[in-house]
């Protein structure tokens, strides 16, 4: 370390200089710190957190099936065989529970009730028989002493009595294709030769740090979006993954597509607006805790004030933390800030503080306290800017980037369309009309011409991947989506590369080439293009990229893309820029957490002291340092423009 780290300002200088590697270590030298809520619940003696899918965790029961003895004999891909075995075991176990009407409870046996509002166990699906062996054992398994209710199976489809038998059977029947997934999961396309039109998607979670992703909110968000016909649906869930509706013959969006189309970014913001109008209160800590905790905290009577829950329960948690921790512990100071992790209504503060706690487990010990002080104080500063603008809380995606947007091919700019695509005008009624070909595995809709199409084709633009969805400031999605235009993760993936490129630095507009050539990578190029276009109050001679962003933001606020720069207020522009600021700050800590915690989805260097990279090649430590440097640069730029004090 070239600079002494004695103050928060020193931490900022080190990060500005790109020295995150000197502040962090892969080796944890102290016991991991638990969340404020966990410490409080433990202090109650009996009030443990209920088992839920709210965090990534390895299901030891699901992991007991191994295929080591058969892999070398079969000569098949080891990953594929293990995947089938795991899938069969998990689904068989769930099916057996439902058949017997029992499950493990907290010290008791409870009847299994299938709530179709929250769970689709596929027992009613009659068009994809191979997985029905697993989902509906009363009909498709030969149960001991039970010969009733068995369905007549098509020729060539067998029955299985155990998960192992089903696994062996499906090895020859299932066709598994590994798809490009995110940095925290693997994604597979599952099909069957006898049922070529019936396809499902299997998502396998990474292991990693068991607090990095809130699976409870992830699944809750996807179900809500699916019900609103804004995303694919969840067909089944289990500890290590889930089965989802598969969208065939659709395009995954890219930065190039968004910037080449005059309307595509506006379409994305129209979907964001629809999402933000959905229910958000059941993502708030109060209702989530009520679902997860045996010993609940005091409910609030907030009457529209979501911060009331924080004010009511903060003294309780603070008292426990002050009594349990020694003066040198993580909770020795700034408790009011650190309690935000468990009680703050907006996920920007709540989740960012969780990432700070997890990151501090891997901060070099002598810098740990001052590192936490810097990030905590900076978060309070950003929170103050958001609250000063009275920015509302909404149901937020929190990770809208081009890779999380699925497109109908008709929405894709012509130069990026598949070769066999024929551009035929297609229109749909609103609300969408369900097709007679629709099934539980895949919904189909009728076009006005009578075509039967999937959800993406019907809607044009659909969002996926809700791992980070939650209640948040409205500005987060508005700003984060623009931030992600400047990070292209489809490029920069070669050996020694960071797993992304800065788009505006690599592809500057001709009008800014000279002015930007000597500026550092973190300079806020995209905000500058947007601001310059907004100042002109006209799209004439404006930078095309700035105009695209302003049209999209205008669509969100005013519902029309006409003369956007003339009607977007300075306050709306400020809110969008604040969202960008929140985004850079938040993702820097997320990246530091993943850099220090490897899992099945990371690719690590030979030395255990080196930091992890994502399955897509994203260099987490470099990416995190880049995002916080962008935060610093944008913060100073916003001050210079008078947007923040």
What is the C-alpha end-to-end distance of the chain, expressed in Å?
32
DSSP code, position 18: T
**pLDDT one-digit tens code per residue, 34-43:** 899 988 888 8
Helices (H), 437-486: 455-459, 474-485
- DSSP collapsed to 3 states, 502-566: EHHHHCCCHHHHHHHCCCCCCCCHHHHHHHHHHHHCCCCCCCHHHHHHHHHHHHHHHCCCCCHHH
Q: Are 456 and 407 in contact (CB under 8 A)?
A: yes
CA dihedral in degrees (392, 397, 403, 407; nearest 10)? Answer: -90
Q: How far apart are CA 261 and CA 280, in angstroms?
A: 32
Cis before 431 (ω within 30): yes
Q: Are 171 and 76 in contact (CB under 8 A)?
A: yes
pLDDT at 74: 38
pLDDT at 170: 67
Q: How far apart are CA 351 and CA 288, in angstroms?
A: 14
Residue 558, both tokens:
């005013």
Domain ranges of the chain: 8-27+282-394, 127-178
Q: Are 645 and 639 in contact (CB under 8 A)?
A: yes
pLDDT at 543: 76
Cis before 218 (ω within 30): no
Q: How far apart are CA 502 and CA 519, in angstroms?
A: 13
- 3-state secondary structure (DSSP) of residue 171: helix
pLDDT at 609: 60
Which of the residues in the chain have pLDDT under 70?
1-3, 29-30, 45-77, 79-81, 89-173, 181-183, 194-195, 207-210, 294-296, 301-303, 325-328, 440, 538-542, 560-566, 599-609
Q: Which helix (H) or strand (E) holds 441?
A: none
Buried b (16+ CB within 10 A) or exposed e, 131-156: bbbbbbbebbbebeeeeeeeeeeeee
Strand partners, 237: 242
Q: How far apart are CA 249 and CA 275, in angstroms?
A: 24
- 3-state secondary structure (DSSP) of residue 255: helix
The model carries a pTM of 0.86
Residue pointed to by tokens 């889930």: 242
pLDDT at 130: 46
The answer for 333, left when phi > 0, alpha when psi is -120 to 50, beta otherwise, is beta
List of residues 6+ apart from 126 with CB closer than 8 A: 132
Strand partners, 363: 24
**pLDDT one-digit tens code per residue, 174-222:** 777 888 766 677 888 888 776 677 788 888 887 654 678 899 999 999 9
């Amino acid at each position: 370390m070239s600079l002494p780290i004695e103050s928060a300002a020193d931490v900022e200088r080190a990060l500005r200089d790109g020295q995150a590697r000197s502040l962090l270590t892969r080796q944890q030298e102290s016991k991991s710190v638990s969340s404020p809520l966990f410490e409080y619940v433990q202090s109650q003696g009996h009030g443990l957190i209920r088992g839920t899918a709210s965090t990534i965790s390895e299901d030891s029961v699901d992991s007991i099936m191994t295929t080591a003895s058969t892999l070398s004999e079969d000569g098949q891909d080891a990953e594929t065989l293990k995947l089938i075995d795991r899938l069969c075991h998990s689904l068989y176990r769930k099916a057996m529970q439902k058949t017997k009407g029992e499950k493990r409870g907290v010290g008791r046996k409870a009847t299994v009730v299938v709530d179709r509002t929250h769970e689709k166990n596929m027992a009613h699906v009659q068009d994809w028989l191979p997985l029905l062996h697993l989902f509906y054992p009363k009909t498709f398994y030969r149960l001991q002493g039970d010969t009733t209710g068995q369905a007549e199976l098509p020729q060539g489809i067998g029955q299985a009595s155990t998960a192992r038998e089903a696994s062996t059977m499906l090895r020859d029947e299932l066709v598994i294709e590994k798809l490009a997934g995110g940095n925290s999961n693997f994604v597979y396309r599952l099909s069957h030769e006898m049922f070529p039109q019936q396809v499902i998607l299997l998502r396998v979670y990474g292991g990693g740090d068991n607090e990095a992703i809130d699976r409870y909110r992830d699944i809750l968000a996807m179900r809500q979006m699916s019900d609103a016909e804004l995303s694919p649906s969840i067909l089944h869930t289990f500890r290590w993954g889930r089965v989802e509706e598969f969208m065939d013959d659709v395009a995954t969006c890219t930065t190039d597509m968004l910037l080449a189309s005059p309307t595509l970014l506006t379409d994305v913001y129209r979907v964001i607006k629809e999402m933000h109008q959905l229910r958000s209160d059941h993502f708030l800590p109060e209702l989530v805790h009520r679902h997860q905790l045996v010993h609940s905290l005091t409910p609030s009577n907030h009457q529209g004030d979501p911060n009331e829950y924080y004010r009511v329960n903060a003294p309780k948690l603070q008292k426990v933390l002050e009594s349990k921790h020694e003066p040198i512990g993580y909770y020795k100071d700034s408790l009011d800030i650190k309690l935000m992790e468990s009680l703050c209504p907006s996920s920007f503060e709540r989740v960012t503080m969780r990432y700070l706690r997890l990151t501090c487990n891997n901060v070099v010990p002598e810098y740990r306290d001052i590192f936490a002080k810097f990030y905590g104080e900076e978060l309070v500063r950003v929170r103050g800017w958001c609250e000063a603008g009275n920015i509302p809380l909404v149901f937020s995606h929190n990770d809208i980037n081009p890779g999380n947007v699925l497109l109908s091919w008709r929405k894709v700019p012509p130069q990026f369309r598949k070769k066999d695509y024929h551009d035929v005008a297609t229109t749909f009624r609103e609300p969408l009309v369900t097709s007679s070909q629709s099934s539980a595995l895949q919904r189909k809709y009728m076009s006005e011409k009578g075509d039967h199409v999937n959800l993406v084709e019907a809607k044009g633009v659909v969002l996926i991947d809700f791992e980070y969805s939650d209640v948040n400031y409205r500005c987060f999605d508005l700003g984060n989506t623009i931030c992600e235009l400047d990070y292209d993760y489809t490029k920069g993936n070669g050996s020694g590369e960071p797993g992304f490129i800065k788009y505006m630095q690599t592809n500057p507009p001709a009008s800014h080439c000279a002015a930007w050539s000597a500026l550092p990578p973190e300079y806020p190029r995209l905000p500058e293009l947007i601001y310059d276009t907004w100042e002109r109050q006209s799209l004439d001679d404006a930078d095309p990229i700035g105009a695209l962003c302003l049209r999209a933001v205008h669509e969100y606020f005013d519902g029309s893309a006409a003369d956007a720069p003339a009607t977007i207020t300075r306050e709306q522009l400020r809110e969008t820029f604040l969202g960008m600021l929140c985004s850079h700050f938040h993702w820097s800590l997320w990246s530091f957490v993943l850099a220090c915690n490897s899992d099945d989805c990371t690719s690590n260097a030979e030395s255990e002291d080196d930091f992890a990279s994502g399955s897509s090649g994203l260099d987490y430590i470099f990416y995190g340092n880049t995002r916080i440097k962008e935060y610093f640069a944008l913060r100073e730029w916003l001050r210079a423009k008078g947007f923040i004090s």
